[in-house]
Amino acid sequence: MIVWSKGLGKQSLLIELDKAELRVEKDYIGVDGIIESLWWQYTLKLTAQDLVDFLSILSSTKTSSFVAKERGIFWRLMRELGRFIPQVLWGIIRTRVTNLFTEQR
């Protein structure tokens, strides 16, 4: 992911999300990492609504058009989604069921 800020002037920075650390807080998921080119620590706070909004971005026509046109990404994305979606759904269902049984005791 590339980030840009007015304070950076014309410079943009690469955030390597695959190297970030995740932590779960009460109201958000924290994503912490370091932009190595500057040794700049960053934190992203993703709320449940942010995740829903991101899924809306992924399902937009503009995103679909980008994926369809971008060379080499279509099949890779399809493969990753095919693997990722069942894992996410199973994790959510498993946690929800576990929480229901824990609350009943």
CA separation, residue 95 to residues 47, 89, 90, 101, 102 (Å): 18, 10, 8, 10, 10
Residues 51 and 73 in one domain: no
How many structural domains compose the chain? 2
Per DSSP (E only), the strands in the chain are 2-4, 12-14, 21-24, 29-35, 40-46
Residues 67 and 21 in one domain: no
43-86 confidence digits (pLDDT tens):
999 999 999 999 899 889 999 898 888 888 888 888 888 998 99
Q: Which domain holds residue 34?
A: 1-59
Residues 46 and 90 in one domain: no
Residue located via tokens 């002037």? 9
Residues 14 and 51 in one domain: yes
Look up the pTM and report it. 0.69
Give the C-alpha separation, 18 to 5, whole Å: 22
Residues 68 and 47 in one domain: no
Residues 49 and 65 in one domain: no
